[in-house]
Amino acid sequence: MSMQPSDTPGLDELTREECLRLAASHSVGRLAVADRGRPPLVVPINYVLDVDAVVFRSDPGMKVHLARQYPVSFQVDFIDPSHRGGWSVLISGLAVEVEPSEVAHLDLEPWVGGAKAHWMRLLASEVSGRRIRLADAPRDPRGYL
């Protein structure tokens, strides 16, 4: 998506293809799982993107337990505080456990210790994203940068 010149800052919607390209360019995001009547559990995960599916590994626990039962969301973003810019991608869908042999072609090593024996694939049903659009800087007639 090309950035359109503007007099005011705002948010631009990203296409599905842009969202997937940006998600594929990173390796850490946040997985959100929730149980009925309880606040969401949001945890950082390292992952790889396999076409449009987020694949991650985990040890047994609440994250895997809930991801097997309810829809989940995954968010990855990039923030540049010095330029007040960035983007955010949200992928939602169902997570299914897969056999390691099904994803053996992926280079997915856990960042923290533990067996991480549960291989999960988030099947994307919704993909959305936004990029911060900055206002055009006024040109200085003196030619200074």
| DSSP assignment string, 18-50 | HHHHHHHT-SEEEEEE--TTSPPEEEEEEEEEE
Q: Is residue 3 part of a domain?
A: no
Domain that holds residue 63: 10-132
Q: Is residue 63 part of a domain?
A: yes
Q: Is residue 46 part of a domain?
A: yes
Share of the chain above pLDDT 70, in %: 88
**pLDDT band (50, 70, 90) for residue 1:** very low
Residues 6+ apart with CB under 8 A from 128: 13, 14, 19, 89, 90
Model-level pTM? 0.85
**pLDDT band (50, 70, 90) for residue 125:** very high
Q: Is residue 5 part of a domain?
A: no
Number of domains in the chain: 1
Helix (H) or strand (E) holding 133: strand 118-133
* CATH (domain of 27): 2.30.110.10
Q: Is residue 138 part of a domain?
A: no
Q: Is residue 139 part of a domain?
A: no
pLDDT reading at 82 higher than 60: yes
Q: Is residue 143 part of a domain?
A: no
Q: Is residue 142 part of a domain?
A: no
What is the four-CA torsion angle of 108, 110, 116, 120, rounded to 10 degrees?
-40
pLDDT reading at 92 higher than 70: yes
DSSP bridge partners of 60:
none
